[in-house]
Amino acid sequence: MQLQEILYTQGFGTRRVCAGLVQQGFVQVYMPEQGSAPVTITQAAMEFVAEGLRFRVQGVDWPYAERAYLMLNKPAGTECSQKPSTYPSIYTLLPSPLRLRPQKAAVQGVQAVGRLDQDTTGMLLLTDDGKFIHRMSSPKHHVPKVYEVTVKHPLDEKQVSKLLSGVVLDDDPKPVRAAACEAVSEFHLRMTLTEGKYHQVKRMVAAVSNRVEGLHRSSIGGVSLPADLPPGGWRWLTTDEIVAVQTKV
């Protein structure tokens, strides 16, 4: 694949812009046979094997990724929307190439897999793989999501028991239950859900006469949010994590 085409697929602009980046000497490619340092390429049409390619654009290293799978530690006070109404968008936390990766659909770049409320923090997945988004969002898939919940009133066994056996929400006569639930401390509840109804954690806690004061998603599937990923930070998912994050109950 031509280098300018590789850059285009990775979100570095139009084909003309990508060709200009190469011709102006802003692109280096890691070529093992040439040593450990990247080599500056100035021929936009130069051919490379895209899979496994690593390159540097304007001083920043990038891996070639046919599809992007990311993990973001969502901070409070951000919205999971391309067009936020009140708070900054989570997409402003990502570098431009990830936001501009070309897609056949009208919307460019990576998209959040589900949403977290503006005041909810923690693990959020983003990708430009539509099939992955559909699979992860399908209620039939039953991917477990673990939430650390800070509540206003002291917890008791009766509340935990109700959350496990099922509570009725006002818009659905069918009881909704937690897949797992435990009182970590007097005001700290750890709850695992396998579906994603609107404001589900907050409404379930309210149904047992308590109130959510803080909400943090700590894991999805078989992958937990790393302790060294700061709020607002992101990183690529590894191949093993892409599989593990889809682990069902």
Task: Given the residues 61, 117, 170, 171, select the one marked as catalytic.
Answer: 117
Q: State both tokens at 42.
A: 């100035």
The reply to whether the predicted model has a pTM over 0.95 is: no
**Torsion of Cα atoms, 219 then 213 then 85 then 116, to 10°:** 10
117 an active-site residue?
A: yes
Strands 39-40 and 27-29: antiparallel
**Domains of the chain by start residue, with CATH:** 3-63 (3.10.290.10), 69-140+228-244 (3.30.70.580), 145-220 (3.30.70.1560)
Sequential pLDDT tens for the chain (249 residues): 999 999 999 999 999 999 999 999 999 999 988 778 999 999 999 999 999 999 999 999 999 999 999 999 999 999 999 898 899 999 999 999 999 999 877 678 999 999 999 999 999 999 999 999 988 988 778 899 999 999 999 999 999 999 999 999 887 788 999 999 999 999 999 999 998 888 899 999 999 999 999 999 999 999 999 999 999 999 999 999 999 999 876
